[in-house]
Structures are given as structure tokens and as C-alpha cells.
Amino acid sequence: MKKVLVIGFVWPEPNSSAAGTHMMSLLNTFRAQNWDVEFATPAQRTEHMVNLDAFGITSQSIALNCDSFDEYVKAYNPDIVMFDRFMMEEQFGWRVDKHCPHAIKILDTEDLQCLRNARHEAFKGEREFTISDLHSDIAKREIAAILRCDLNLIISSYEMRLLSSVFKIEPSLLHHLPFMVDLSSLPASTKTFEQRQHFMTIGNFRHAPNWDAVLHLQKIWPLIRKQLPKAELHIYGSYPPPKATALNNPKTGFLIKGWADNAFDVMQSARVCLAPLRFGAGIKGKLLEAMIMQTPSVTTNIGAEGMHNDLPWPGKIANTADDFANAAVEMYTNQSDFEQAQQDGNTLLNTLYDKAQLSTVLIKKIDSISSDLKAHREKNFTGQMLKHHTMRSTQYMSQWIAEKNKKLD
């Protein structure tokens, strides 16, 4: 029986973010193999965090820059260590290498932080994103973490191509793993075109692309409302700040709903999901939830990126405010377009997001690496070199902070 240690950036919140849902899918996939799974994180506990005990997953709070982790990881002695985002590999990776050198190191990138950051910087600079924007300090850190790991889980097909073509990462280090959907649990039926009303969007307000989308909807919504004067836009999401709730305007139908107890229920009640995302990375949980609940979506190229390959989008893709508003109105009023989008969504779910198939391939990949870890690592000389040199600076900085903290105590 394998022992898996997952070092999380935050406690999983599947009802708050797509990252939380994806993390739970991975944890449950490992548990389905009858592997022991422990989740450890230096993050503070939150009101919306999931009860891991209910899933047979143990948990542990750990400290940054503290030698206590060394004793902890030696005692647990994992066969596999998975890092949630590259920052966790930076912080704890060298300690795992030192005390559990034979543990397989997996990096769950969630989405490429360097891509998200580069697009955000280009957006703030009011210019088009270019590949040269990727050559940042964050990219150097993230790519180094990828190279130091034995396997990297990449959520977007676009990011797979980017890592291969721009950063020249060896294919043996990369594994494409989008969101995993249990097709057997899909609803047998959902509300019909006539039973649904209004528009909706959903997303954690702390996530910069989501907050920008809400601000952008303020410009788009009057264009929609002009053509559909009785329609409403319901905006859901966890952790709404005062600046978000202040936008609530019943007179215009622009309604900040905040936390949704069940994202699928509010998704199914709406006729169309709107996601005018202007920057970001990875793939979008809200758009997958829309497919699951057979709710057509209108999004941008950024929103749909890496999610549908060459298959039709289950809704419409538009990038300017005018085009987006017109696409939203057309999808809202045209029943045949609505029903075609539902069919396209079902096709995507069955073709690209089948949990049974995706989890089987992932476990086979891990088992293959486990069967000859030495040979796998010998093919990645750059990663071994980075462990030897680059991580020393991170290691010594961490040790210096640890010693400093001891003196303060």
C-alpha cells in the first residue's frame, strides 16, 4: 500500500473554487487505489474548507521555514509527495529530497502561474500578451520546480503545448490532466429552456480574473439589458468584498448574490452562464459546471482556451463587449441554439473529461515511474542539476530563517 503526502497551498474548498474541486478529485483518486493519503499545509484553516476525515484522508498543519517538517516527513515516510503549486515545491521540495529521496515528486500546477501573471501584467499595461512576457522571474521559478519533479500535472492542453514549445520540457515529465468528471453521477435530466430564466456567473471574488470579469460585466450588462429589459444577472462567488456587494443594483438587474450553497443548483436555474474573462490561465471550473448542468455559456477565447480542442463550444465565444452582449442575447432567446449547446457540452464531457478514463491513465503513469524511478530521473539531467545547485539558495535561506526564529523564541 502506497503512502501519499499532499502538500497543499491552501485547504481544499471544492464549493469555493475549481482548484479545490480538482484537488479533491486527485485526493479521491489516490484513495480509490487504497493508498494512505495525508494532506498537509501551512495555510490557515477556513470556514469553507472540506472535512477531509469524511473521505478517509488524514490532515496535518505544517510550518514554513521550520525544521519540524523534517521530523514529520521522515516519520510519515511517503512513497509519493504531491505539491500543490510550485511555491510548495520551492518551500518543501529540498526537505523531501533530503529525507525521502526515493519518494516520487509530483507537481500539481493547477494552472501555470507564470502564464497567468504574464497575461495579467500585459492586461494592466493595456497591451497584447506576447510569448516574451513569459520570460519572467516567476517563470524561472516555476519551470525550475517543474524540472525538479518527476511528474507534473498540467490542466490545460494549451499549457501542455506551451511548456513543450517555449520551455522545451521533456514530454516524460508532463501529464495532461484536466478536471475529472464522474459521468455516472451526471443528472439524468436538467431544467428545460422554458423552465430557466436569467443569466448567471460564479467564481471566487479573491481570484483576480473573476473580479475583473465582474467589472467587465458592468459594461456588458447594459447592452444586454437594453435588448432584454426583464432579464437579471445573478453573480455568485465566495468571499465577496464590500467593493463587490456595493455593485448590487436591483433596478438594473445586476445582482450580487455572493456565496452559493450549491453551485450546480444556481447554474441549472439560469438559462445562460456568462464568463467574459480577459486574462488568466488553466481551464475554468465554472464553464465545466455549466456543461454538467447543461447550461450554455458565453465566454472569451481566454475562457475557452484548452477546454474543447477542435470540438464545438457549448455556447458562444466572443471577445468585444458588443459581440459578447449580442451572443448572450442570441443564446438566451434562441431555443435551437440553446439545445445544440447542450448537446455540444455532453460531447465534450464524454470525450475530454471522463474521470474513469483520466484517473486510470494517471495511476498507470505513476506506477510506470515508480517501477524504475532511477532510470526516469536519469533522463532528466537538468532537473538533477537544479536540485544540486539552485535549491541550495532556497535551502540555506530557509535554514537561516529557521535559526533566526529559534533565537527569537
**Extended beta strands in 237-283, E state:** 254-258, 272-275
Question: Dihedral, CA atoms, 294, 299, 302, 306, nearest 10 degrees?
Answer: 20
Say whether pTM exceeds 0.85. Answer: yes
User: Which band of pLDDT confidence, cut at 50, 70 and 90, is reported for residue 389?
Assistant: low
How far out from the chain centre does Cα 256 lie?
23
Q: What does the alpha-carbon distance between residue 5 and residue 39 come to, in Å, rounded to a whole number?
A: 6
Tell me if residue 334 falls in helix, strand or coil.
coil
343 pLDDT more than 70: yes
Count CA atoms closer than 13 A to 114's CA, side-chain side: 23
User: Which band of pLDDT confidence, cut at 50, 70 and 90, is reported for residue 398?
Assistant: confident
pLDDT at 233: 98
User: Which band of pLDDT confidence, cut at 50, 70 and 90, is reported for residue 393?
Assistant: low
> What is the average per-residue pLDDT within 203-223?
95
Residue in the structure block whose three cell numbers are 501542455: 160
Neighbours of 364 (CB within 10 A): 10
User: Which band of pLDDT confidence, cut at 50, 70 and 90, is reported for residue 406?
Assistant: confident
Percent of the chain with pLDDT over 70: 98
pLDDT at 394: 66
Helices and strands in the chain, H and E counts: 17, 13
Structural contact between residues 18 and 237, judged by C-beta atoms closer than 8 angstroms: no
> What is the average per-residue pLDDT within 206-225?
96
Q: Measuring CA to CA, how many Å separate 259 from each of 141, 233, 235, 238?
A: 34, 15, 9, 5
Pick from 216, 84, 175: which is nearest to 363 by CA? 175
Residue in the structure block whose three cell numbers are 456568462: 274
Residue in the structure block whose three cell numbers are 475583473: 212
Tell me the pLDDT tens digit for each residue of 78-96. 999 999 999 999 999 999 9
Pick from 75, 71, 72: which is nearest to 60 by CA? 72
Tell me the pLDDT tens digit for each residue of 103-116. 999 999 999 999 99
Average pLDDT of the chain to the nearest whole number: 94
Residue in the structure block whose three cell numbers are 518543501: 92
